Structure 1
Amino acid sequence: MKKLLFSLALLCPILAYSQSNNAPSSYDLHDITITGYLQTQYQKAQLSGIYSFSGGDFGKNSSERFMIRRGRLKIDRVDKYSSVVFQIDATQNGVQLMDAFIQFHKPGSKTFLFTAGLFNRPFGYSIVYSSGYRDFPERARVFQTLMPRERDLGAMISFRPKKDFKFITAEVAVINGSGHSARDYDSKKDIVGNLGFKFDSLANKKLHIGFGGSVYKGFVRSDTETYLSLQDNAYVKNTSAGNVDWYTKRDYYGANLQLQYDNTFGSSSLKAEYISGSQPGVGTSSSISGPVASTSFSAQPATDLYLRSFSGYYIWFTQQIAKTNLTALVGYDVYDPNKHINEKEIGAANSFTTAGDVKFSTLGYGLTYLINPRLKLTVYNEHVVNEPTQLPQYIDDLKDDVFTTRLQYRW
């Protein structure tokens, strides 16, 4: 039983709805069920006060910390017609609502599901896949930047056939676009679409394949008379009274792939995802610094918009070691917030470029050990590299590597 549970924990999202945040713990009829997980960890950074996508920035005078990374408590109920999910996240920073949605469907059939409330944006693989099952400590930098906290408020229709086309999943959602926030700052709504395919039992049931594509079509409102667009490695200011209450496009296009092969040595898994598109951001200031300048907004940006074309991807590889409870992890991800500019030109005089244009790559490696079916230990190191620029803070590679030791308990 222990080995069976361990193998299930390794599988791609090809297996269970419970591994998706946009689902109850089970679609079997049940009264109130409580599930969740707790992640407590110790981290060591190269320097004090670094910007970090490994659980948040470090304090000004701190390079070491203990923290509760996630403390999730999920309550759900399923009847013949509908289900309800309510999830909170309790950490040292307080308690925050994470999921609150209702799903309903035709009695006796879950081919079409309608979801309304606060839920994960249905984009790609890693956004929806639960952090309680993911082997790697954090999602890739590109997804943390574009979709911080992963969730949004809105409504979604899901198509999940059970018979002839059971290998297909299709989802379309209409959301506020302001992310994990109770207040939308404009009148337009964003549309997210996802199409996925999964094949569970190929090559004598040893090979599992999943792949898909996603689209995000959204907008960001301008609150000033000026926006900046890129021309020849420098931003050009476009100023007009008509730019106030003007909407710029926020469009993403993504593709993802998951492979798993159950071999004689142990399960091998490869997961990859690529995303590209346009991401309106801002310039750095006294209140907005570092990589945050290219992030998505939860409130109306009060400064001039920067129109950026980005690209990013991650590759995750895991290898179960000799069919034991040990799994080796290797991950690599890249986020280029401005793919049309030469890194050496960032920071040049009168270019108006900022830290929000700097490209980052991260090489991660580590081990997980499944102590028992509920308790998992993860040891992971991230080597973060930024491209050299002319910006004073980014002339050389920052010393912003992070080592993490995490203990997780799931119930």
Structure 2
Amino acid sequence: MKQVLSVLLLFCSCFAFGQSNNSPSTYDPHEIAITGYLQTQYQRAQSAGISSFSGGDFAKNSKDRFMIRRGRLKIDRADKYSSIVFQIDATQNGVQLMDAFIQLHRPESKALLFTAGLFNRPFGYSIVYSSGYRDFPERARVFQTLMPRERDLGAMLTFRPDGKFHFLTAELAVINGSGHSARDYDSKKDFVGNLGFKFDSLANKKLQLGFGGSFYKGSVRSDTESYFTSNGNGFFKNTSPDNIDWNAKRDYYGANLQLQYDNTFGATSFKAEYIGGTQPGVASTALITGPAASTSFSTQPNTDLYLRPFEGYYLWLSQRIAKSRFTALLAYDVYDPNKDVKETEIGANNNTTAADIKFNTLGYGMTCLVNTRVKLTVYNEHVVNDPTQLPGYMNDLKDDVFTVRLQYRW
């Protein structure tokens, strides 16, 4: 029994190493297949009413909650020429469409795929990596800010050659740029590209290695006569009637790395990803909180744009403990929405706001694979921001979050 469990654990670990959302359950021809997962959880925050990237903000007078984090139902079908994927997310907040796309390919090969519809942006590793297989409860703050809900509408070409170059994946997509929203608020389209490499059987089949690079080339339409650009220690205001209907650059570049080594202590996995570039956001106000002011827009922003030079990254380390059901987790991520300004300068009459504050998060916890379908996760996030001159942000916010999650996958 222990040997069977060990094989199942290893299979799940290897499968998770490269599980992608932009595909059906299998490319083998099949009629309707139904898969999915349910994540139900309890959370306790350090203080009531905090803004959080661990499942969303807490209610004004609440610091603990039960919630359905994700309730995914995926339906797909495939024949020798094509496949279709349709996925919804049902939680206490209602039902939302997550994926709806068609893929076309040659009958004798899946090396070249054409995808059209609503799908994950092909940027980096964690965006496409399924939340049903990820050990860590959430994606890093930087990716939740720049690409909320991960998806967009458009078309994509994917090239995964057969034969000796099977380790290569190249993807290029043209998308609306407004994210999960069905409405594109300008006439421009954004381009996303990814080049990835994956080697599964190195060092006597004990080592798995993956790495790659990505780019995002897009824009955000200006609806006002003014916009702000960084001047090194704050923002400079640019005003002209010509700025109405002007498109501000939204450019990202990224790199990622994944390592997994099977050893006498179990399986050690290390994953890292970096992203930097220029993000058009807005100023933080009473109605738009600091983190939300630097997020990407699903509707036309009707206030002045702020062009922020940003950077962020995450480091994920997991250790499966010997041949047991347990995996220890350790994570660290950083998101600096304005790397040109120091935290001590924010709020110093230089047009900076709470949207420019840097946050870093230390996460740690453990998962238990109860069986091949059920997983229990216990995880704590310690979130830190440096003091600024802004009221409400002169000290580190009390916004840590503790999570206990139970997941069932079928």
TM tier, smaller: over 0.9
Q: TM-score, normalised by structure 1?
A: 0.98
Task: Tell me how far 1:21 sits from its aligned partner.
Answer: 0.6
User: RMSD of the TM alignment (CA)?
Assistant: 0.9
Q: Which residue does the alignment assign to 1:370?
A: 369
Per the alignment, residue 255 of structure 1 pairs with 255
Aligned to 1:10: 13
Partner amino acid, structure 1, of 2:302: A
Whole-Å separation in 2 of the counterparts to 1:130 and 1:396: 36
Alignment check: 8 A CA contact 2:16 2:133 kept: no
Contact 2:314 2:331 (C-alpha < 8 Å) held by counterparts: yes
Distance 2:14 2:108 in 1: 28
Answer whether contact 1:370 1:376 (CA < 8 A) is retained. Answer: yes
Give the Å deviation of 1:232.
3.5
3-state SS, counterpart of residue 394 of structure 1: coil
Report the AA paired with residue 363 of structure 1: L
Distance between the aligned counterparts of 1:197 and 1:185, measured in 2?
35
Q: Distance in 1 between matches of 2:154 and 2:128?
A: 15
- 1:266 aligns with 266
CA shift for structure 1 position 5: 2.2
| 5+ residue gaps, structure 1 | none
The alignment status of 1:96 with 2:96, answered yes or no, reads yes
Q: Deviations over 1:74-125 (max 9, x none)?
A: 0000101000000000000000000000000011111100000000000000
The offset of 1:4, in angstroms, is 2.0
The answer to whether 1:312 aligns with 2:312 is: yes
The answer to whether residue 382 in structure 2 is matched with residue 383 in structure 1 is: yes
**TM-score, normalised by the number of residues in structure 2:** 0.98
Task: State the distance in 2 between where 1:13 and 1:186 align.
Answer: 37
Q: After TM superposition, which residue ranges in structure 1, 4 or more long, deviate above 6 angstroms?
A: none
Matching residue of 2:323: 323
1:302 corresponds in structure 2 to 302
**Shift of residue 284 of structure 1?**
1.4
State the alpha-carbon separation in 2 of the partners of residues 211 and 126 from structure 1: 12
Please give the secondary structure, in 2, of the residue aligned with 1:123.
Answer: coil
Q: CA deviation at 1:11?
A: 2.8
**Map of 1:64-83 to 2, 5 A cutoff?**
64-83=64-83
In structure 1, what residue type is equivalent to 2:41?
A: Q
Structure 1 residue 20 and structure 2 residue 13: aligned?
Answer: no
**Cα separation, 2, equivalents of 1:58 and 1:222:** 31
1:5-404 pair list within 5 angstroms: 5-11=8-14, 14-15=17-18, 19-349=19-349, 351-404=350-403
For the 8 Å contact 1:228–1:235, the answer to whether it is kept is yes
Offset at residue 289 of structure 1 (A): 1.5
Contact 1:227 1:238 in 2 (8 A): yes
What is the Cα deviation at residue 235 of structure 1?
Answer: 1.1
What is the SS of the residue equivalent to 2:6? helix
Distance in 2 (CA, whole Å) between partners of 1:11 and 1:66 is 31
Deviation, structure 1 residue 14: 4.9
Q: What is the CA-CA distance between 1:13 and the residue it aligns to?
A: 5.4
Say how many residue pairs are matched: 407
The Cα offsets for residues 149-184 of structure 1, whole Å up to 9 and x where unpaired, read as 000000000001121200000000000000000100
- Cα distance in 1 for partners of 2:357, 2:22 equals 33
Q: Using the TM superposition, name which of 231-240 and 273-282 deviates more.
A: 231-240
**Aligned partners of 1:23, 1:197: CA distance in 2, in Å?**
18
Aligned partner letter, 1:9? C
Amino acid at match of 1:386: N
Change (3 A) 1:118 1:24: same
Mapped to 2, the partners of 1:185 and 1:340 lie a distance apart of 29
The question of whether the paired residues in 1 share the 8 Å contact of 2:333 and 2:362 is answered with: yes
Letter in 2 for 1:369: C
Whole-Å separation in 2 of the counterparts to 1:368 and 1:332: 17
CA distance in 1 between counterparts of 2:9 and 2:32 reads 26
Q: Counterparts of 1:314 and 1:403 in 2: how far apart (Å)?
A: 19
% identical aligned pairs: 74
Give yes or no for contact 2:266–2:321 (8 Å, CA) kept in 1. yes
How far the C-alpha of 1:342 sits from its partner, in A, is: 1.2
Matched position secondary structure for 1:219: strand
Q: Please list the CA deviations of residues 363-392 of structure 1 after superposition, one character each: whole Å capped at 9, or x if unmatched.
A: 000000000000000000000001211111
Q: CA 1:14–1:331 in 2, change beyond 3 Å: closer, same or farther?
A: closer
Deviation at 1:356, TM superposition (A): 0.6
SS in 2 for 1:9: helix
